[in-house]
Amino acid sequence: MLVTINNFEVDLSKPIDISIPLSNTDANPIAWYLDKPEIKPVVFGDWTGSVKEGASTNFNTIVFNPHGHGTHTECLGHITKEFYSINQCLKQFFYFAKLVSVEPEVQGEDFVIGKNQLEVLLRGEVVGALIIRTLPNLETKQHQNYSNSNPPYLSEEAAIFIRESGIQHLLIDLPSVDKEHDEGKLLAHKAFWNVKDVSNLNADARLNCTITEMIFVPDNVPDGNYLLNLQIASFENDASPSKPILYKI
């Protein structure tokens, strides 16, 4: 199905899913010291919500954490004292996006994505969303337990550059844009959303901007420009599991 958007031709019949599915297996990625998700039938007395167990339907309860169990999209309510919901902050779902591949730089014991790296890759281009694929792009990203592993992260300067470039939506294949153990500073989160005080939100904080973490972009998807469909579930929460889809332009 071909459609034309702003003079660009897009084939909607060829979606590229860059989300990681959620499962109750050891293959599910994990962050933030959690156990794997639970997906199991409801039990009422001697009735079990499973067709295999004799029920007419499968009737499962799912227990998971969006931040720690896979691809998720979050709003600034993730770091503010006042409640903000991703379901209220994200109201548009299609964006022109740029995919870039970056090898984080060694800084002491850390691997960090720096401002200078992104400046070279973006070359002043204005897009609604930026998708960062870190190198090396190992398949294990889809199944990794990130807890206490000190994954790569985004420098505060890089997050400021992204914000000042007018990018509204940031997608990355890491469990967080910030350092795992950072004493709660959350410098990249605060810089991207322009949050200066988590207890008293400034008027120019970026309410309609989002961060999506724990994506996976296969090697056969080249760097470049895409149409992004950023899909979330309608959770009244700071974050929701999400399904970002790319379409070639």
Contact 4, 235 (CB under 8 A): no
Q: Where would I find the H helices in the chain?
A: 86-89, 115-122, 156-164, 187-193
Contact 124, 167 (CB under 8 A): no
Instruction: Pick out the chain residues at pLDDT < 70.
Output: none
Task: Kindly list the distances between the CA atom of residue 95 and the CA atoms of 37, 108, 157, 209, in Å, as whole numbers in the listed order.
Answer: 31, 36, 24, 12
- Taking every pair of C-alpha atoms in the chain, what is the biggest distance, in angstroms? 63
pLDDT digits (tens, 9 = 90+) for 146-202: 999 999 999 999 999 999 999 999 999 999 999 999 999 999 999 999 999 999 999
Measured distance CA(241)–CA(237) in Å, rounded? 10
List, in order, residues 6 or more apart from 191 with CB less than 8 Å away. 156, 159, 160, 163
Which DSSP helix (H) or strand (E) runs through 211? strand 210-213
pLDDT digits (tens, 9 = 90+) for 185-200: 999 999 999 999 999 9
Q: Which domains does the chain have, with CATH numbers?
A: 2-22+66-248 (3.50.30.50)
Q: What percent of the chain has a predicted confidence (pLDDT) above 90?
A: 96
